[in-house]
Amino acid sequence: MDFSENRPIYLQIVDHFCSQILNRKWTPDERIPSVRDVAVQLEVNPNTAIRAFHYLQEKDVLYNQRGVGYFVADDAYDKVIDLKREEFIEYKLPVLFRDMKQLGFTCGELEDLYEEHYGE
């Protein structure tokens, strides 16, 4: 995994975990790799890895069974969708709106472009 410098590493690990859940590679009640395994695999300090685990545990996406490991919560998919939507609205949408205004895009033009690329 390549880390960017503009975002804390633990949040980039959180994004990776969220992707695993959204892509249904990790399913409800599935045991996920240990903190140590994640730290070794991603070549990060174990303290950085545990921050990602704790963050998602606080958001009720993961749960910990003491002595066994971390697991995906039953409603993790929905929790991640909510989390990512909030993040999009707070951080990405304002940038999109600013760029649209600077470039003279209307919402209608954006909708047309969306339909052109992702329409059914």
Number of domains making up the chain: 2
CA separation, residue 72 to residues 80, 93, 104 (Å): 11, 28, 43
Do 85 and 104 sit in the same domain of this protein?
A: yes
For residue 58 the two structure tokens come to: 């606080």
Do 60 and 106 sit in the same domain of this protein?
A: no
Do 13 and 71 sit in the same domain of this protein?
A: yes
For 106, residues 6+ apart whose C-beta sits below 8 A from its C-beta are 100
108 in a domain, yes or no? yes
106 in a domain, yes or no? yes
Q: 74-92: per-residue pLDDT in tens? A: 999 999 999 999 999 999 9
The H or E element spanning position 33 is none
Do 17 and 72 sit in the same domain of this protein?
A: yes
Do 71 and 91 sit in the same domain of this protein?
A: no
1 in a domain, yes or no? no
25 in a domain, yes or no? yes
Domain that holds residue 25: 9-76
Chain mean pLDDT for the chain: 95
Q: 92-117: per-residue pLDDT in tens? A: 999 999 999 999 999 999 999 999 99
37 — pLDDT class (breaks 50, 70, 90): very high
pLDDT score at 4: 86
Whichever domain contains 35, its CATH number is: 1.10.10.10
